[in-house]
């Protein structure tokens, strides 16, 4: 007997994702992932001045608000062959690092932790034992008996008030939760501390980007002037604030996030290092240029593809080759002029909407036909996983430090083989390790920036494109970045100094896309196959794997139909 579970929308993510999973003998045998909103950003930037596009695409998403702007200015700079000054590169790196730290920490605590942490169990914790455990795990100062006692009381009040709020959708008491009450209380304490922490670190974006959310970028550099002595510029005082925020961010990641991650990994490792592997192909564009964006050999995160978990070979990527990256629409609600089966490189990409699904509200999608607003991207015809795990696997395979040593040491500590990375747990651990790396890099970038300023280099903009006579009429370019949740590419075609075509391939498109014409599954669908489901009415295991990707549908797709709002629906059928 096959049972079908429908989860729609899958909560604790940005945007609307629907998962339909078929269960037989307690395991997932097939799964379909559907983006139920449509994106149309490509249309809004058509015919605009390419220099303005970053401001529009930055509005696509509230989670990774700045990364689309960064990707866009890179695409325009690539089109016009502009090299930005070193300081602008460093400022962009610092802002990107802040985005990573914010995104990864918020993902771990606010979006993913409750798949592993039972909030209700925390109410049974003994504050004395909790305090002892917390002090054993970390030097973090907030670990006294009184602290955990007060927290427990506050939690009892909160849960008792029937205002479960953020905690309302948990499967509390599910036997899949394995942490002790004390471990749960530590995690809940840090859930709340992370909320406070994230408020502070984003202030760095306002220093350099002028405002947040949606900080300012600029084609050719950054729109901020730095002068150590000048009261009206970003001066020593503002830079000290940045340094302090970066140091505090690092302390939290090292003393709170990493110990909690290892605590959770230790408890769940036996089962969850074997579940959720997925497509086994990993793609990253690389990011955090040390020098110029075009100098891809000097990125902190290396570029490349690993196929079939084979760590001995790294394949190079040519994002502009029409033979390498293609988007298909066989199962997506779009039309291509050349037909349903062709794949198009983004330079030739089309966005013609063609909704053929059922009229909402509906109970079923026709899974043999089109069933998602997400297109299906392929690299050399293969499905790819993108994200922190892909980045670390490529770095490991490339022998890049400090990634390789950090991975090796962590696996040793957890007594896990390298193959444990290819799993739901591997994805979650990779995100934490990456946060630790980025926290250090942010301070490196900062010190380099200060050094440049002290040496008298305060250049922040290359004005080339702002001088009219230099603009060639028709060019095209691409911007590649690694958003916190994975590989992000923007492609721009410019004619007569106006945008003729703009296409984006966002991380969740790679991960959440429907299968291709040949029936080959993309990352989400593939990762769910074989997942044991204890109780189809409480599909905790599906949430664990899907959340481990850090899905964000806001930019993968963008609107959703008017009839189905925030109804969280889990349907189980026989």
Helix (H) or strand (E) holding 19: strand 17-24
d(CA 557, CA 390): 22
For the chain, the first-to-last Cα distance in angstroms comes to 7
Strands 27-35 and 376-379, sheet pairing: unpaired
* Smallest gap from residue 35 Cβ to another protein (A): 12
Contact call for residues 295 and 287 (beta carbons, < 8 A): no
Minimum distance from CB of 408 to another protein (Å)? Answer: 34
Q: Which is nearer to another protein, 181 or 209 (CB)?
A: 209
- Given a contact cutoff of 8 angstroms between Cβ atoms, the answer to whether 377 and 521 are in contact is no
Min CB(511)–another protein separation in Å = 18
Give least dist CB 16 to another protein, A.
9
Nearer to another protein, 16 or 32 (CB): 16
- Between the alpha carbon of residue 447 and those of residues 26, 94, 443, 454, 480, the distances in Å are 54, 11, 6, 11, 25
Closer CB to another protein, residue 143 or residue 205? Answer: 205
38 vs 185 by CB, closer to another protein: 38
* CB-based contact 82:503 (threshold 8 Å): no
Q: What residue ranges bind another protein (CB under 8 A)?
A: 11-15, 37-38, 40-41, 43-44, 56, 59-63, 65, 102, 106, 110, 154, 158, 163, 165-166, 192, 195-196, 198-200, 202-203, 211-214, 554, 558-562, 565-566
Nearer to another protein, 69 or 273 (CB): 69
CA angle, 225 then 229 then 233, to 5°: 25
Which is nearer to another protein, 40 or 361 (by Cβ)? 40
Extended beta strands in 241-375, E state: 282-284, 287-289, 299-301, 304-306, 325-328, 334-335, 352-353
- The answer to whether 527 and 428 have CB atoms below 8 angstroms apart is no
User: Which one, of 506, 526, 522, lies nearest residue 514 by Cα?
Assistant: 522
Q: How far is the CB of 44 from another protein (least distance, A)?
A: 5
Q: How far is the CB of 473 from another protein (least distance, A)?
A: 26
In this complex, which beta carbon is closest to another protein, that of residue 202 or of residue 253? 202
* Residues near 309 by beta carbon (within 8 Å), at least 6 away in sequence: 280, 419, 422
CB of 194 to another protein, least distance (A): 10
Nearer to another protein, 269 or 490 (CB): 490
Closest distance of CB 48 from another protein, Å: 11
CA-CA distance, 274 to 169, in Å (whole number)? 26
């Amino acid at each position: 007997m096959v049972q079908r579970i429908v989860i729609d929308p899958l909560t604790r993510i940005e945007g609307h994702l629907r998962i339909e999973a078929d269960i037989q003998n307690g395991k997932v045998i097939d799964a379909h992932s559907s983006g139920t909103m449509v994106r149309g950003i490509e249309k809004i930037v058509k015919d605009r001045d390419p220099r303005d596009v970053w401001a529009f695409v930055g509005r696509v998403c509230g989670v990774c608000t700045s990364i689309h702007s960064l990707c866009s200015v890179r695409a325009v700079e690539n089109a016009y062959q502009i090299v930005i000054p070193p300081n602008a590169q460093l400022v962009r790196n610092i802002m990107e690092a802040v985005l990573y730290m914010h995104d990864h920490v918020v993902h771990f605590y606010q979006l993913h932790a409750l798949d592993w942490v039972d909030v209700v169990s925390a109410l049974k914790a003994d504050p004395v034992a909790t305090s002892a455990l917390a002090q054993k795990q970390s030097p973090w100062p907030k670990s006294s008996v009184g602290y955990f006692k007060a927290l427990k009381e506050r939690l009892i009040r909160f849960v008792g008030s029937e205002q479960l709020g953020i905690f309302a959708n948990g499967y509390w008491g599910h036997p899949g939760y394995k942490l002790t009450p004390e471990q749960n209380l530590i995690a809940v304490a840090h859930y709340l501390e992370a909320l406070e922490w994230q408020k502070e670190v984003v202030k760095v974006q306002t220093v350099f980007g002028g405002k947040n959310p949606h900080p300012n970028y600029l084609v050719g550099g950054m729109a901020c002037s730095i002068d150590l002595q000048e009261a009206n510029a970003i001066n020593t005082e503002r830079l000290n604030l940045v340094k302090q925020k970066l140091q505090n961010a690092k302390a939290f990641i090292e003393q709170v996030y990493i110990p909690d991650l290892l605590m959770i990994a230790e408890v769940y490792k036996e089962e969850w290092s074997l579940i959720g592997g997925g497509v086994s192909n990993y793609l990253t564009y690389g990011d955090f240029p040390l020098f110029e964006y075009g100098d891809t050999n000097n990125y902190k995160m290396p570029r490349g593809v690993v196929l079939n978990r084979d760590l001995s070979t790294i394949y190079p990527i040519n994002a502009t080759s029409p033979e390498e990256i293609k988007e298909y629409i066989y199962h997506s609600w779009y039309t291509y002029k050349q037909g349903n089966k062709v794949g198009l490189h983004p330079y030739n990409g089309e966005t013609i909407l063609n909704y053929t699904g059922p009229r909402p509200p509906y109970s079923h999608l026709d899974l043999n036909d089109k069933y998602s607003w997400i297109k299906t991207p392929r690299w050399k015809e293969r499905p790819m996983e993108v994200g922190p795990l892909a980045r670390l696997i490529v770095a490991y395979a490339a022998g890049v430090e400090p990634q390789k040593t950090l991975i090796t040491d962590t696996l040793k500590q957890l007594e896990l083989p390298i193959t444990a990375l290819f799993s739901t747990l591997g994805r979650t651990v990779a995100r934490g390790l990456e946060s630790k790396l980025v926290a250090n890099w942010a301070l490196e970038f900062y010190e380099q920036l200060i050094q440049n300023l002290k040496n008298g280099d305060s250049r922040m903009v290359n004005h080339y494109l702002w001088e009219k006579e230099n603009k060639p009429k028709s060019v095209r370019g691409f911007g590649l970045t690694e958003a916190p949740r994975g590989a992000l590419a923007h492609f721009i075609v410019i004619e007569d100094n106006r945008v003729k075509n703009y296409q984006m391939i966002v991380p969740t498109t790679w991960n959440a896309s429907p299968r291709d014409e040949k029936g080959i599954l993309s990352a989400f669908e593939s990762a769910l196959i074989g997942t044991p489901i204890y109780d189809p009415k409480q599909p905790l295991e599906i949430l664990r794997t899907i959340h481990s990707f850090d899905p964000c549908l806001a930019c993968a797709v963008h609107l959703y139909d008017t009839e189905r709002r925030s109804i969280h629906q889990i349907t189980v059928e026989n």
